[in-house]
Amino acid sequence: DIAVAFHAFQAVRAPAGKSQVVWRFRPTLWNLYLGVALVAAILSIVLLVIKPPREELEPAD
């Protein structure tokens, strides 16, 4: 029966403050270097892929 299953589910109580898992990010120097390297790599890839259109050089007469 769905009502019995729902009631059994409702009967299970989570301890106060334990219903949510809070993950705190504590940045360290290693993470800072990793982030800077990642941003630099992504930026260089984007700049290599997206090249501005070059103006055509007119042939010299």
Q: C-alpha distances in angstroms, 56 versus 51, 53, 59?
A: 14, 9, 9
For residue 25, how far is the Cα from the chain centroid?
A: 13
For residue 24, how far is the Cα from the chain centroid?
A: 15
What is the pTM for the complete model shown? Answer: 0.40
What DSSP designation does 17 have? T
CA dihedral 25→29→30→31, nearest 10 degrees, is: 40
Tell me the pLDDT band of 19, cut-offs 50, 70 and 90.
low
Residue 1 has pLDDT above 60, yes or no: no
Residue of 3 and 42 predicted with greater confidence: 42
Q: 20-56, pLDDT tens digit by residue?
A: 556 666 667 888 889 999 999 999 999 888 876 666 6
Tell me the pLDDT band of 17, cut-offs 50, 70 and 90.
low
